[in-house]
Amino acid sequence: MSQSPWIDGATKFFSDAHPLFSRLKMRPIEIGAGEVLVRATLGDVFKHHAMSSHVHNGTLTIIADTITGFAVITKLEKMQPIATISLRTEYIAKAHVGDVVECRAACYAVRGSVAFARSEIHLKETGEILANSTGAFMIGTKGPDFQTWSDGTKP
């Protein structure tokens, strides 16, 4: 995957201006047509419960949904609203507070107004797989104007 013009827009989209992404410290690493790699750090706020060092599995689903959706947008080569129709996530190992994870996602098919994508979340340090997901996304839904994000302004 080579760097692309998407990297600047993605960096702004995943910036500290977005409350969730700032907590995850999400940063795009590589972006290509239909392929995305993003790194995130799992902070204390995502604990499963106060006495645990485990991160709630829903955190991995949020990352997977966001990054697979972004892979769809790069496949379409156009910033436009999409919506998740379905997302199936399989949790393979526990994530812990402080883990740095990478999510690699790819959009592998577009059929009419539906796109299909998959992702894998693994520990950056060891490569251990934490979760994988597959999803379907509706294209052209009502939603925010993503072009404003790439222009550096918020919708």
pLDDT tens string for the chain (155 positions)? 445 666 666 666 666 666 777 778 888 889 888 999 999 999 888 787 778 889 999 999 999 999 999 899 989 987 788 999 999 999 999 999 999 999 999 999 999 999 999 999 999 999 999 999 999 999 988 765 555 555 555 44
Residue the block writes with tokens 């693994």:
122
Q: Report pLDDT for 23.
A: 78
Contact by Cβ (8 Å): 125, 100: yes
Considering the domain boundaries, does residue 141 fall inside one? yes
Burial class (CB in 10 A: 0-12, 13-18, 19+), 33: middle
Q: Report pLDDT for 120.
A: 98
Considering the domain boundaries, does residue 1 fall inside one? no
Considering the domain boundaries, does residue 155 fall inside one? no
Q: Report pLDDT for 10.
A: 65
Residue the block writes with tokens 């597959």:
134
Chain segment 83-123, per-residue pLDDT in tens: 999 999 999 999 999 999 999 999 999 999 999 999 999 99
Considering the domain boundaries, does residue 96 fall inside one? yes
Q: What angle do CA 78, 82, 86 make, to 5 degrees?
A: 135
Q: Report pLDDT for 50.
A: 79
Which domain does 41 fall in, by range?
6-150
Which among 11, 23, 93 has a CA at the least distance from the CA of 63?
A: 23
Q: Report pLDDT for 15.
A: 62
Chain segment 78-92, per-residue pLDDT in tens: 778 899 999 999 999
45/74 Cα distance (integer angstroms): 30
Q: Report pLDDT for 101.
A: 97
Considering the domain boundaries, does residue 75 fall inside one? yes
Considering the domain boundaries, does residue 113 fall inside one? yes
75/54 Cα distance (integer angstroms): 34
Residue 117, domain CATH: 3.10.129.10
How many folded domains does the chain comprise?
A: 1
Contact by Cβ (8 Å): 22, 16: yes
